[in-house]
C-alpha cells in the first residue's frame, strides 16, 4: 500500500496511466506539475502520451514547474477518498471544481500566468491521472485527517 504523498504513490499511478490506452486517447500532455501537500513537494513530468517522472523537490523548485496543485493535507485526503469511493472524482472533487469554486486563491498556482494555463489545457488528462488513483490502495500520512 503506497503512502500519500510520496514518490511511490505517484509512481504507482504513473505506471497505470502509461499502460492505459484511454489516457493516451486524451492527447498529449507536455507539462511539469508540482504537487504541494503540507510540507511535501513533488514534481510530476508529463511528456507526449506518458508520465515520465516523479521526484521530490524543494520550495525553490516551484519556479521551474508550469503550475502546482496546492491544498491542505485534509483536502487532498478527502479528494483521494472520494475518487476511490466513486472510481473517479465526484463533482465536488474534480480539479476544476476545486480550482474554481473551493479554494479562493486557486488550486492550480504558478509564478507565471501563461504557464498556469497548462492546467486548463491538459485538465482532462490530469483528471484522468488522479482518477486512476482509484485503482490503488492508499495509506495517508499520519495527521492528514
CATH code where residue 33 lies: 3.30.1050.10
Average pLDDT over residues 13-33: 96
Q: Residue 126 and residue 143: Cα distance in Å, rounded?
A: 26
Q: Residue 136 and residue 132: Cα distance in Å, rounded?
A: 8
- Is residue 140 included in any domain, yes or no? no
- Is residue 117 included in any domain, yes or no? yes
- Is residue 141 included in any domain, yes or no? no
3-state class (DSSP) for residue 52: strand
8 Å CB contact between 98 and 107: yes
- Is residue 142 included in any domain, yes or no? no
Tell me what the pLDDT averaged over the chain comes to: 95
Q: Residue 18 and residue 22: Cα distance in Å, rounded?
A: 10
Q: Residue 40 and residue 105: Cα distance in Å, rounded?
A: 19
Number of independent structural domains in the chain: 1
- Is residue 139 included in any domain, yes or no? no
* 145 pLDDT above the threshold of 50: no
In 3D, which of 63, 40, 51 has the Cα closest to residue 144?
40
Q: Is 0.75 surpassed by the pTM of this model?
A: yes
pLDDT in tens, 32-83: 999 999 999 999 999 999 999 999 999 999 999 999 999 999 999 999 999 9
Amino acid at each position: 500500500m503506497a503512502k500519500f504523498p510520496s514518490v511511490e504513490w505517484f509512481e504507482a499511478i504513473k505506471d497505470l496511466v502509461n499502460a492505459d490506452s484511454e489516457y493516451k486517447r486524451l492527447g498529449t500532455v507536455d507539462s511539469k506539475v508540482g504537487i504541494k501537500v503540507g510540507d511535501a513537494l513533488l514534481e510530476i513530468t508529463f511528456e507526449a502520451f506518458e508520465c515520465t517522472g516523479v521526484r521530490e523537490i524543494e520550495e525553490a523548485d516551484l519556479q521551474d514547474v508550469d503550475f502546482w496543485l496546492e491544498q491542505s493535507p485534509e483536502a487532498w485526503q478527502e479528494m483521494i477518498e472520494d475518487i476511490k469511493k466513486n472510481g473517479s472524482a465526484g463533482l465536488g472533487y474534480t480539479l476544476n471544481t476545486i480550482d474554481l469554486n473551493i479554494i479562493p486563491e486557486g488550486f492550480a498556482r504558478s509564478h507565471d500566468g501563461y504557464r498556469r494555463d497548462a492546467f486548463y489545457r491538459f485538465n482532462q488528462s490530469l483528471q484522468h491521472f488522479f482518477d486512476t488513483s482509484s485503482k490503488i490502495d492508499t495509506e495517508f500520512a499520519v495527521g492528514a485527517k
